[in-house]
Chain A
Amino acid sequence: MTDITHHDTHDSHGAGHGHGEGAPQTVWHHAWTRPGWWRVLWTTPLFFGIGCGLVTLIRWAAHWDPIWKGQPITTVALVTVPVGFLVGLGGFDFWTHYAGGLPTQAEDHDSHGAKTWKDYFRINTDHKVIGVQYVVTTIIFFLIGGFFAMLFRAELAKPGDQYFNPQTFNVLVTNHAALMIFLFIIPAFAGLGNFVIPLMIGAADMAFPKLNALSYWLLPIAGVMLIVGMCTPGGGPSAGWTCYAPLCSHQPMGQIFFNMAVQWAGASSIMTALNFLVTIITMRAPGMTFWRMPLLVWANFTTSMLVVLATPFIAGSQFFVLFDRVMHTNYFESSGGGYVIGYQHIFWFYSHPAVYIMLLPGFGIISEVVSVMSRKPIFGYRLMALSLLAILVLGFSVWAHHMFVAGMAGWLRVPIMVTTLLIAVPTGIKIFSWLATLWDGKIHMNTPMLWALGFIAMFVIGGLSGIYLGSVPIDIQANQTYYIVAHIHYVLFGGSVFTIFCGIYYWFPKMTGRMYNERLGQLHFWLTFIGFNLTFFPMHYLGLRGMPRRVADYVPQFAGMNEFISIASFGLGASTLVFLYNMIWSWARGPAAGDNPWRSMTLEWQVSSPPPIFNFDEVPQVVGGPYEYGVPGARHAIFGTETPAPVLAE
């Protein structure tokens, strides 16, 4: 918490402590003790041992029998082993030095920036490096999650059991969803935000760079834990990504890995959100008032509030199911007086706001791209920001629409239906503002813009089916069918994933300094767009005809359409190869992009591509709004010794 400022460290960086990592200064300071992968090799087993010892010691002291027991040890080891990994990597070095009263080294920025590829594989405090680490890691998990989808679509191509038994099928479905939600969409936005937010508000870095590095490294831990959990004895977790209690308390041991992975991913996202909030509140450049912030910053500000306030609830829900399993508590076991539906209430109290956590940053990206690419000020800037806040508040009041048929209190249905439908108002404000921004603009139909327009169209479809599902009578009919699957994919794929692609293409030149291939980018968009619609649109129909979701087998009357969907989904999966090829090739060989290929006004485009190590040589002075395209004489910011022009544009 206290790393940002140089205040506390200031008084203590004694003489004799060198700055910069440079050559080893003392004899013991070699590879095994220096932060890094060699140290990981022994700290990780050490902390595994500590975890085992701790459990055994407590069980021995409390006279519990048997002293050596698998499930508690697994649970505790899934906490201590990642901690050991992080200790080895050096994630806690500053804080342990600080806590031990040792002289902490003054922030000398030696862990800043990336000169070689190796710098991406260590604790790096540079928000730009962390942003790239995030995006690349999440894309890897996106590919794995997508691969799982291909596998179970292959199974679903024909009725009957082909390749997987129902248990394995459920494991694949569960982990497909969990990877996509916890390890792709949410952290991908955190990655893009990490790269862009400090630049956009004119700061040199995030408020807490060391915390930022740590929160990134929790992410691969969570992902690996999830995937390892699939291969544990007894079979992986198969209770769905929602892992409803008490079903998941009686799953094989892989479920513990699942629950703990969700905890680690959640911790990562809370830490990042805290960092975003503090950065946006305290680190804005002079003149960057809240009403001059780009909408992406607004979007991440609201999202971070949601994360900070809602994510503890999923942490709670995962704790309870772990306790029910390991400590034999009765939170959700009706035989012991527990309230079964309580899990769903607590889970959805996070997981509905999580839908907005997965959408609001995307809204921000779309606002940037739509305004820049149509060369017009964003329509209704203040209302765009306020509608984000409205979604934030309303988002907390709609959780129970996931539970209309779960057996919850009947009187809760109608109020929740009303608030659910009400959320269409601020969302509608955003849609119409984008359309009004496009109106009469000078539209540039390049790849980011295609994704933005594709997003708007697809998200409207997803939003409309959401209005259907939000009304109790239709939900009772369509619940647990493929209609839900269609809806969620129109919202989270046509919505969130399209915006992530939009953001990646839009900031690719800034991140890498090189331009992606425009033709391949557009090809990727059209293949994905068509494949996406062919895959998911027929699911509306299947769902209304009554095909249940999350089932490996189905009646033969749905065979034709499922075969069609499976083939389309393979096409959709293949379209990602175009994206990968484009990204890898362009990153290595693409033409230089120039500082500001989109002629954007926001601050990140006013520095070189990729940005200099500390973003700005001088703190910029913000003098106007960020979207004044086509307004004569309008400036967003001025640099250096330029005399501030009289502010006329406001």
Chain B
Amino acid sequence: MSAVAHEHHGPPPIHYSSRIPPPLVGIFLFIGSEIMLFGSFFTVYFFDRVVNNPGTWPPLNPATGVQFERPWFVALVNTLILVTSSFTMHWASTSLKKGNRAGLCAGMVLTLLLGLTFLLTQVIEYHRIGFNTGDTAFAATFFGLTGLHGCHVFIGLLILLAMTIRSFKGHFTPEHHHGLEVGGIYWHFVDVMWIVVYVTVYIL
């Protein structure tokens, strides 16, 4: 594979036994693992809500005596922002495959900004939400699920940042773009997972 001559002889040419290239197989399996991690957070949510507190949900806040309020509208706007970022990501990667560098770079920057907006909104929401992690199991599951997802957004943003830098430097070509593809798949996963988290945590 490597075109450069070495003083020691290199490995024989790699034989791939799968039509899907290894990085893509890897990211899909990794997403399977991530789904199970979210699964454990959903499981504990299920135990705390369905098994242990089968009454009204959200429960009463013991500090104030009224039901916990969930800022579902702000989060809905935030959801739309994140979903939009999935489309811009898709636009970026299709632009790359068509050889449209400007579209690629614009798409990456837009995705990055939308993701950043989502995360900042989430932080501000935490700040103004009016309850803390220690206030009953409801707060634990609320911060657990949204926080776990927020960590994934953060890591996704770091990956996107790397991809954006490389896009601007022209390191991706229509033929060689596994890096971008892997980052994009991860970002789509983060977005889809948010919809599940949003519906579970804010609506149901």
* A contact residues vs B (CB 8 Å cutoff): 1-2, 4-8, 10-13, 19-20, 98-101, 106-109, 202-205, 207-208, 270, 274, 277-278, 281-286, 288, 308-313, 315-317, 320, 323-324, 327-331, 333, 336-339, 341-342, 345-346, 349, 613-619
Contact = CB atoms under 8 A, between A and B. Distances in A.
Interface residues of B, number: 68
Contacts of A11: 171-173, 176
A308 B33 contact: yes
B44 A342 contact: yes
Contact of A329 (B33, B139, B159, B171): B139
B2 A323 contact: no
Contacts of A310: 36
Interface in B15-58: 15-18, 20-23, 25-27, 29-30, 32-34, 36-37, 39-41, 43-44, 47-48, 51-53
B140 interface: yes
B120 interface: no
B162 interface: yes
B128 interface: no
B188 to A, nearest CB: 15
A309 B12 CA distance: 33
B182 interface: yes
Interface of B: 1-2, 4, 6-18, 20-23, 25-27, 29-30, 32-34, 36-37, 39-41, 43-44, 47-48, 51-53, 59, 133-141, 143-144, 158-159, 161-162, 165-166, 168-169, 171-173, 176-179, 182
A5 B11 CA distance: 13
Given A1-B182, A312-B33, A617-B12, A346 B2 contact: no
Contact of A614 (B7, B10, B44): B10
A278 B25 contact: yes
Nearest to B168: A101
Contact of A285 (B15, B48, B135): B15
B137 A338 contact: yes
A8 B8 CA distance: 23
A361 to B, nearest CB: 18
Contact of B6 (A109, A283, A284, A315): A109
B48 A282 contact: no
Nearest to B46: A342
Contacts of A330: 134, 136-137, 139-140
Contact of B22 (A208, A327, A333, A338): A208
B29 A8 contact: no
A270 B143 CA distance: 25
A345 B33 CA distance: 18
A339 B52 contact: yes
A315 B12 contact: no
A619 B13 contact: yes
Contact of B17 (A13, A19, A282): A282
